[in-house]
Every structure is written in structure tokens, then in C-alpha cells.
Chain A
Amino acid sequence: MTTVPAVGFQHAAWLMLAFPVFGAVVLIAGGRRTDRWGHLLGVLMPIASFVYGLIAFFALLGYTDRSRDVHMFTWIPVNGLHVSAGLLLDPLSMTFVLLITGVGSLIHIYSIGYMAHDPGRRRFFGYLNLFIASMLLLVLADNYLILYAGWEGVGLASYLLIGFWQYKPSAAVAAKKAFIVNRIGDTGLLIAVFLMFSTFGSVTFTGVFGGTRAAGTGVDTALGLLLLLGACGKSAQVPLQSWLLDAMEGPTPVSALIHAATMVTAGVYLLVRSNPILSLSPTARLAVTVVGAVTLLFGAIIGCAKDDIKKSLAGSTMSQIGYMTLGAGLGPVGYVFAIAHLVAHGFFKADLFLGAGSVMHGMNDEVNMRRYGALRKFMPVTFGTFLVGYLAIIGIPPFSGFYTKDGIIEAAWDKGGTSGAILATAALIGAGLTAFYMTRMVLMTFFGKSRWEDEVPAEHRETPETGTHGAAPHPHESPWVMLWPMIVLSIGSIVAGGFLVINGRFAHFLEPVTGAVPASHGIITTPGLIALALVVVGVAAGWLMYGRAEVPAVAPPGRLLTKAARRDLYGDAFNESVLMRPGQWLTRLSVYFDGRGIDGLVNTAAAAVGGSSGRLRRLQTGFVRSYALSMFFGAALLVAALLAVRL
């Protein structure tokens, strides 16, 4: 990877970061004074970044050298560790900038309507801006240390937003869980940065990637695995997946933002950005593909069983990010399709989440799909956009998912060998499962008979405090400020995939980052047809179970796998028994050792001194004559000793 210095107005690239940072600072520091116009400022800032991003993007298209390094200032000028804060404008980072600010802006606009009745709306926009700023810093950084700063900022912002309704204990716990699980992944990334510095003496992308070949496979594998650990934490991949489902405690726009534009995409970005390291280590690549394949099945199975519309979508995100991770382990073709799928996913997942939010908005914040039904008559626009998102995610041509997801399946298919066959099978099964659970979601929400009751039980509401108690939910369409972002996103869901993939447009665009991509075999391929067949099977199965048959309003007990999937495939139980309980035992053991061992030693020594002093004290009788006697004996002893020596 070679970079050339930035030219012209690219020096102002810091503006992209400055806008959302400014918004966050004003809204968070400004307090209640900014309540009245805070949300407008909050919306304006990401849009401003988006506009700059668009200009920078088209300018970049005009250059032959597309990797531009914008030097801002020297951050750490210590001898031997020279870190300069710089931004990297290249095809990969610009793709992310447009996705983050574009989809992010739409979610901001949607939030104006969604959070209209929330007293903390201004604070909410402050945090959203902080999220956008951190994510932009992450993708624009030209070295791993700045990237790490953005990485941590994303973690902080997600903590603040997941726990936005902090008066709900479940939200507070979910926020902490997300933060702590992410911390495990962060440790991996941090150690990777240490290792880079000690091996290459540099943490810049150019410096690190320039030295990877000379460093040897051992270092490259270690780096690859550590980066994978970091990516697992941020992108909710097995084994660090448990936080994502709980993260649904945040307001729905946050879920959309986390799942579509920011946060979970950071792990995939990290892996693709570090492709020169991965390409030199087959072991690390294999680990990446295994994690991706396991997660895509894991998430899909969970998505099939959840009755909570947001949690089902969260399982779906986990699964789709699994596809991207799988792609990130499959070499240049995989990198391109991982990012293409990420962009397409950004559109249709944001669309689906905002659709789910719109449904909940009209249903008194009810999240249980068994209490929906027949909503297509009440919410035609929401239904239409949701349907587009649905067709895009299951991969019906010509919607986005068809092009990008099939690209990853094909890349796995083309890998060859036993591992390739297993990975391709997993990806194909995942495609069928995706079709099943998404069909289930659409049928349960928009078709069938209405199943809502007079009052929504508090535990099925997103916010226990809002909503009119005792009143029947009267499903209604959401305001236009919420609807038109969904319409824009659904248009993106239709065209994005085809636009990127047809004629290898995106592959050519990303070439400076991922390397040259061999010519693809066109749109219709064997694995593509198998995937399509499995999708049809999935849709049919979904229709048989939830379309033709009546959906019970109370969840049936379910079989073994359903029960397991409802409990997130025992992810939490596993963490609890393998990590939490031994941890508690360790703590207790330490406390015991501290009390009995260390304190015991000190206390015993003190007691020994005290006891022996008490006994020695008895010698002091207070009688002068006894002292005189002991003096006498002492003197006699001294004289005897002197005589003994003399003689």
C-alpha cells in the first residue's frame, strides 16, 4: 500500500470529524439550554460531514493515486515512538465515511420523530453525534493508535446509548455488558498494537504493512489472531457475541445505528484494512473464516426463535456480520464482497430496524411479534419499506443482498478443499435460515390476524414509562419525518448491491486497498442457484409455519433447539458457568487467602509479640532486692567469665 500526500481541499478532511464532535460537545455541555433546537443541530452535523464526504469522494475518483494521507499534527513526538495524527483518505475509508454519515444522517432524521416524546432527546442526539465522530475517527485514522482511539470512542458511545434509558435496570446492565465484553476484544487490539510497535517500530498502516513480509509468519499469525479477537468483540462474533442481543435495550434508532452504520462494522473494517497481515498468514485467515461461519449459523438460529422483533433482527445482524467476517478471511475477492455486503447490509438493516421502530412506535412500544399481526393495512409505508428490506436481506434478485451475499458464498465455494466445502455449506444453510426467519418476521408482523390486546404488559414494552396505560394500541402510520428516511434506505436496499457488484465496479474501486481481484464468473453461478433454491425453501417453510397456520399469541413451549435458541443458544449460560463462576471462585479464594494467609501471618506475628511480652513482663517484679540479686548474679557471672578467660 502506498500513499501520497493530500492535495488541495483534502487538507480540510478534519472537518468531517469536527462537525459531529462540535455537535456532541455543544449538546452535551450545553445542557437544557439547547433542548429546543438541539436535535436540529444534531441532525445538521452528520449531514455536513456527509456533504464533505461526497465532495471528497468524487474528488478521489478523479485521481490515479487514490490513497491520500492527510497529516494533521504530531501527536506523540517521543524519541523512538513517533505517532502523528493523520487521516487516510482512500477508497476503503471513503466507502465507510459515506456509509456512516449517509445512513447515520438518515437515522438522525428518523430519531427526530422517534424520540419526539422523550425528555432526553437532546442528550440522545449528543450521544449519536459522538458515536458518528468516533466511528469516523476509527475509519479515517492512518495508523493503528488513532484507530484505537476511535475504537474506544465507539465503545463509550455505544455504552451511553444502550444505557440511554438508564432508569431501566435491564438497560443499565446491557450497557455494562456491552462495554465489558467489548473490553475483552479491545485488549486483543491493544496487544496487537504493542506487538506492531515492538516488531516494526511503527504503528502507521504503511509502516506496518511494509514490514509484514520480513517479520515472519509467526508474527503475522499472532497479529492476525489478535486483530480477530478485537474484531470479535466489536462485531459481536462468537465467542464475544453475547452483548449484541442485550444491546436491544437501547432506543431503536441506536440499534439501527449500531447494526447498520457503526460499531459492528468496525470489526470487519479492521480485518479488511489489515488485509496485508491476513494475506500472509493462512492460519489467521482460517480462524477468521471459522469464526465467521460459526457466527453466521449461530445468529441465524437465534433469529429463528426470538419473538422479540428487535432481538430477532439482532440475531440477523450477527449472522450477516458473520458473512462479512467469513468474506474477510477469503482473500481479495472476499474482502471486496465483505465490504460490498457491509454497505448493502447498512442499507437494508437500517431499513429493517427503522421499520421495526416504526411498528413499535405505532403499537405502544410493544416488541413481541406474537402481539402484532395484520399491520400491513394500518402501516402501508412501513410495510412497503420493510418488505423491500426483507427481499434484500434474503437475497432475491435484483435486490442488494442477492449480489453481495452470493459473492461471499461464491468466494467460499471457490476456496476449494475440505474447508472450502464446509464454509460454503455453512454459508448456504445460513442463507436458507435467513430466508426462514425473515419470512417468519414479516408474516407475524404484517400478515395473519391481529393479535394485539387491550393493554401491553410492561415487560413487553421498550419503555415501561411511556405509552398510555389501559388504552388499546391503535396502530397508526408514523410521521413523515420517520417515513422518508425509511423510503430512502429502501431505495438503497434495492440498488446498492447491483450497483456495486455488476461489472466489478466496487472491486476495481477498492483495488488500491485489497489488491487486484481475479475476474468473476458473472452473476449466475452454481452456488448462487443453490442459494436461491435454499432461500425459496426457507420462505416456503416460513409460510407453512407462520403464514398458513395460525400464529399463537402465546409462545408454544417449543422443541429442544427452539428452547436453546430462545436463550441465545446458551451464550450467557456458557459465559456464566465458564467465566463468571470460576471468576467468583477465584475472588473468593483470593479473599480467603488474604484473610487467612496474609492477614493471618501478620496477626499471628503480632499476637506472638504481645504474648511473649506479657510473659516477659512478669520478670519485672518491682522488688528492689530481686533486682539486686539478679545484678549480683550477673556480676558474679561476669567475674567468673573473666577469670575463665584469664586462666
Chain B
Amino acid sequence: MSPSAYVTLSVILFAIGGVGVLVRRNAIIVFMCIELMLNAANLAFVAFARMHGNLDGQVIAFFVMVVAAAEVVVGLAILMAIFRTRRSTSVDDASLLKN
């Protein structure tokens, strides 16, 4: 299989993730879509590393994973706090700062 197929897959995954972030209201789903986009990026990094024959892309993929894990921890914690007070995980409900 040629590496370009992996790149194509990563584009498809990124697009699915992006559309998910924009159209879904449930915060959990939004989070999952963000993870999908991050992993699509990881896939692209690894594919390009293979194509160019060096390890830079693979190293960055590790960094992205670490950052994603940290982000999920903080994000889920915020989500829990919001759910406790508002009994909802809809991102549209959390628009109180506007007024």
C-alpha cells in the first residue's frame, strides 16, 4: 500500500472530526471529534515520516498524543463541573458569559 492512501485516510478522518465539532451539541461528542482530528493529524505525520524516510514526524506524533491526553484531562474536568451545575452537556447552553 502506498503512503498516499494513509494521507487520504487522514484527510477523511480530519474532515469527519471537523464537521463533528461544528455540528454536534453534545460536548462529549465534540471532544471525541477533536480527538479524531488530532489522530488524523498524527496519522498524516507518521505517513509523511515514512514517505520522507526520517523520524521527525513520528516524534511529533508522540508529542501530539501527550498534549491530547493533557487536553482531555482538563477538558473533561471542565465538562464535569458544567454538568454538575447545569445538568446538561450541550455546548450551546454554556453561553452565560455573553450577558
Contacts and interface: CB of A to CB of B under 8 A. Distances in A.
Contact of A625 (B91, B96, B97, B99): B91
Interface string B10-27: 000000001001110100
A621 interface: yes
B98 interface: yes
Q: Is the interface of A mostly helix, strand, loop or mixed?
A: helix
B94 interface: yes
B22 A623 contact: no
Contacts of B2: none
B38 to A, nearest CB: 14
Given A628-B22, A632-B18, A632-B22, A622 B95 contact: yes
A629 interface: yes
B92 interface: yes
Contact of A623 (B18, B23, B92): B92
B94 A624 contact: yes
Contacts of B25: 625
Contacts of A622: 95-99
A363 B22 CA distance: 106
A623 B95 contact: yes
A624 B91 contact: yes
Contacts of B92: 623-625
Interface residues of B, number: 13
Contacts of B98: 620-622
Contacts of A629: 22
A623 B90 CA distance: 11
Contacts, number: 26
A632 B25 CA distance: 17
A621 B98 CA distance: 7
Nearest to A629: B22
A621 B92 CA distance: 10
Contacts of A624: 91-92, 94-95
Contacts of A621: 95, 98
Interface in A288-317: none
A624 B92 CA distance: 7
A625 B21 CA distance: 7
Nearest to A617: B98
Contacts of B96: 622
Contacts of A625: 21-23, 25, 91-92
* Residue from the set B22, B25, B99 with the largest chain A CB neighbour count within 10 Å: B22
A617 to B, nearest CB: 9
Interface in A585-639: 620-625, 628-629, 632
B21 A628 contact: yes
Contacts of A628: 21-22
A620 B95 CA distance: 10
A175 to B, nearest CB: 65
Interface in B16-47: 18, 21-23, 25
A623 B24 CA distance: 12
A622 B94 CA distance: 8
A644 B49 CA distance: 25
Contacts of B21: 625, 628
A628 B30 CA distance: 11
Nearest to A620: B98
A273 to B, nearest CB: 82
Nearest to B19: A632
A211 to B, nearest CB: 81
Nearest to A635: B18
A627 B23 CA distance: 12
A502 to B, nearest CB: 104
Contacts of B99: 622
A627 to B, nearest CB: 10
Nearest to B18: A632
Contacts of B22: 625, 628-629, 632
Interface in A540-560: none
Interface string A464-498: 00000000000000000000000000000000000
Contacts of B97: 622
B29 to A, nearest CB: 12
Nearest to B21: A628
B1 to A, nearest CB: 27
Interface of A: 620-625, 628-629, 632
Interface of B: 18, 21-23, 25, 91-92, 94-99
13 contacts: A620-B98, A622-B96, A622-B97, A622-B98, A622-B99, A623-B91, A623-B95, A624-B91, A624-B92, A624-B94, A624-B95, A625-B25, A632-B18
Given A622-B98, A625-B91, 6 more contacts: A623-B91, A623-B92, A623-B95, A625-B21, A625-B25, A632-B18
Which 5 residue pairs are nearest across A and B when measured between Cβ atoms? A622-B98, A622-B95, A624-B91, A623-B95, A629-B22
